[in-house]
A and B are shown apart, each in its own frame.
Chain A
Amino acid sequence: MRPVYLDNNATTRVDPAVVAEMLPFFTEQFGNASSMHAFGAQVGGALKTARRRLQDLLGAEFDHEIVYTSGGTESDNMAILSALETQGARNEVITSTVEHPAVLALCDWLERHRGVTVHRIPVDAKGRLDVEAYRKALGPKTAIVSIMWANNETGTVFPVERLAEMAHEAGALFHTDAVQAVGKLPIDLKSTEIDMLSLSGHKLHGPKGIGALYVRKGVRLRPMIRGGHQERGRRAGTENAPAIIGLGKAAELARLHMADEQTRVKALRDRLEQGLLQRIGNSFVTGDVENRLPNTANVAFEFIEGEAILLLLNRAGIAASSGSACTSGSLEPSHVLRAMKVPYTAAHGAIRFSFSRENGDADVDRVLDAMPAIIADLRSLSPFWKDKRPGAATDAAFNPTYA
């Protein structure tokens, strides 16, 4: 049975065309771009092409606005740490409650160990940012705002262009974690006021361990990693040439497939979502349905637990992911769903299906076939479920002793 991969927000398959583009740079054109001989020169040219391709995908004005990094996490760290150094006496960071740990864990640490004040802007039940709270948090002490373009769990898209303008009115830098947006949404940075943007290769059918930070021309950047003059001295270390070249090809392909992502992939997602809601009661879609990535569906199934759902899906050959506590090894369910005040009984049973251009109608059919029985089986085991309706298992309400 062909496996059904619907976990593309976690990572994507490297496109075979990307692999083909990378391979010669391991064994034939293996030179160091900084070297004076022909081996180096060949690589230098290929890196330039790769940078241009990524520039095109981002709609950046200049190719030197791109700094290659090891991925989304490094880019996020570099942007925030740099701003705290370059923005003088400004020592506050504004972010949201639903960011990726690459931002939130850094902010927690800065708060605890570096005396930085962090404002975490809340979201409403649909995951929409509280723009009024954001406006109030902005001030003369704000060094940088870091707010994601699209949420990795629900796909909710924030109005980052407007948020960037508001940050600039307060004299603060604006960074966005666009790891989930790049390749899925059309982006034209030269027409925005965004100062810095993080992206990651493995989310757009490129290799893992490569990413970039876009740094708008003129924005000061204090390097996090010092050494050689690579990346114009802004990120030292011999270039990961095969990966940079692979990311370039992936960016080119993403541009070619952008329309497909916005139409066909979106339609697959919508059909899956509608089909699940029709077939399975006590389930609902989380996130801002009108402002979402085209590929992401996050559906909460009440009264059951996500890891159990994933194990049964896996047995049916279907790969998805969940915001459940148990899959992460922590005890709390997804901080994103909790920030949206999704009740615990539903947050634990939220499943994320994330599509890519490689998915087709058969994948949707497979999930729609398998899911109703999986949910029914698990609900029949649940003490919160009785006679095909929510409720206590017996006449006495289920009210466990809480640990």
Chain B
Amino acid sequence: MWEYSEKVQEYFYNPKNAGVMENASGIGDVGAISCGDALRLMIRVDPATDTITDAKFQTFGCGSAIASSSALTELIIGKTIDQALELSNQDIADFLGGLPPEKMHCSVMGYEALRAAVANYRGEAWEDDHEEGALICKCFGVDEGMIERAVRMNGLTTLEQVTHFTKAGGSCATCIEGIEEVLAKTNAAMVVEGLLDASEAFDPNEAVRPVRRPKAGKSPLAVTLEPLTKPKLTNLQKIRLIEEAIEGLRPFLRQDGGDCELIDVEGDRVMVKLSGACVGCQMASVTVNGVQERLIEKLGQPLRVIPV
């Protein structure tokens, strides 16, 4: 079962603005039936002020597709077209209290439907340049297409580089074999196309050396002598650990022109400030998930990361 937020459930069970609009000023049809998603967005525009006065939708899709469509209509009604076009798919996801990484494409569909409807209103043609592949890294919501593009555009040839450019693999690292497979395939294609020297291409057959742990200065048996219940972290210790973990992630975020700063810690709630490219970034809510995973791993206790 997916973990849908309360808001997603509310907008799925009682969607607002569902249905057909007669004499719409603009209609946007997007989606792909093979993926189980299709959305028709209808908008009414007041030509004098260029304001969207009403919006309706019809959706063939799962719970989050219906919720995203409804959220989109709520977000755009009352906005001018230019204001509406400033909305990102992340705004739709945020409005809904976040979406699972596998479901972010539902918010992308809403974002595209708006562009299609506006193009239709303005009498322009609209081309969909969006593509996606299998989701490779769940922590950061990175799919095959994103890895392939990063590898091609930047001539990447190692796993570490891919992590720097896409964040994929930067948290739990259970996805690194999947990343390496895409890297190997893409590099091989680049070699054939003459874009990459064969000697530099990622070699999937080269055995990866096991990584040694730093020497622990005491006998591993000592571990069993520790009391069974770990002493609770003091608030100060907890904040230090959180700070350290966030510091460790910042280089990845800065690669993308973004950043993340610790604001406050209240019980199990960790308030952070995302800045720079992270704010409007399509993947901000997945970034938050990634940071959260990392913190939980570091502290060994449940935490919620909340962007403020």
Contacts and interface: CB of A to CB of B under 8 A. Distances in A.
B32 A400 contact: yes
Given A308-B12, A344-B33, A403-B31, A398 B38 contact: yes
In this complex, the member of A312, A345, A383, A384 whose beta carbon has the largest number of chain B beta carbons within 10 angstroms is A383
A326 interface: yes
Interface string A366-402: 0000000000000011111010000001101011111
In this complex, the member of B19, B38, B134 whose beta carbon has the largest number of chain A beta carbons within 10 angstroms is B38
Given A315-B13, A329-B102, A403-B31, A381 B40 contact: no
Q: Which 10 A-B pairs have CB atoms at the shortest separation, nearest pair first?
A: A326-B62, A307-B62, A383-B58, A400-B29, A383-B40, A331-B35, A348-B36, A325-B36, A403-B32, A401-B128
B31 A381 contact: no
Contacts of A383: 29, 38-40, 58-60
A345 B35 CA distance: 10
A400 B126 CA distance: 11
B285 to A, nearest CB: 17
B63 interface: yes
Nearest to B130: A403
A65 B169 CA distance: 45
Interface in B1-36: 1, 12-13, 15, 18-20, 27, 29-36
A177 interface: no
B20 A381 contact: no
- The B contact surface, by secondary structure, is mixed
B62 A305 contact: yes
A326 B38 CA distance: 13
A156 B131 CA distance: 36
Interface of A: 303-308, 311-312, 314-315, 324-327, 329-333, 344-345, 348, 380-384, 386, 393-394, 396, 398-403
Interface string B124-167: 00111011101100000000000000000000000000000000
A305 B39 CA distance: 12
Given A308-B66, A401-B116, A403-B112, 12 more contacts: A307-B63, A308-B61, A326-B65, A329-B102, A333-B34, A333-B36, A380-B19, A381-B19, A394-B20, A398-B38, A401-B126, A402-B32
Contact of B58 (A325, A327, A333, A393): A393
In this complex, the member of B30, B63, B112, B134 whose beta carbon has the largest number of chain A beta carbons within 10 angstroms is B63
A401 B29 contact: yes
Given A383-B40, A403-B128, A305 B29 contact: no
A394 B39 CA distance: 13
Contacts of A333: 34, 36
B62 A324 contact: yes
A120 to B, nearest CB: 20
28 contacts: A305-B37, A305-B60, A308-B12, A308-B61, A308-B62, A312-B13, A326-B65, A329-B135, A330-B134, A331-B36, A344-B34, A344-B36, A348-B33, A381-B18, A381-B58, A383-B39, A393-B20, A394-B20, A398-B40, A399-B29, A400-B29, A400-B30, A400-B32, A400-B40, A401-B29, A401-B30, A402-B31, A403-B131
Nearest to A314: B1
Contacts of A325: 35-36
A384 B38 contact: yes
A400 B63 contact: no
A382 B132 contact: no
A24 B305 CA distance: 45
B35 A403 contact: yes
Given A304-B60, A305-B65, A401-B116, A324 B29 contact: no
B20 A311 contact: no
Interface in B215-253: none
Contacts of B102: 329
Contacts of A386: 20
Contacts of B135: 329
Contacts of B29: 383, 398-401
A311 B33 contact: no
A329 B104 CA distance: 11
Nearest to A392: B40
A331 B102 CA distance: 9
B62 to A, nearest CB: 4
A308 B70 CA distance: 14
A326 B60 contact: no
B48 to A, nearest CB: 25
A331 B40 contact: no
Contacts of B60: 303-305, 345, 348, 382-384
A345 B37 CA distance: 10
A401 B117 CA distance: 12
A380 B15 CA distance: 11
Contacts of B33: 344-345, 348, 400, 402
Given A393-B40, A400-B38, A382 B59 contact: yes
Interface in B47-88: 58-63, 65-66
Contacts of A308: 12, 61-63, 65-66
A303 to B, nearest CB: 7
A212 B36 CA distance: 37
A79 to B, nearest CB: 25
Contacts of B19: 380-381
Contacts of A307: 36, 62-63
Nearest to A397: B29
Contacts of A394: 20, 27
Nearest to A343: B33
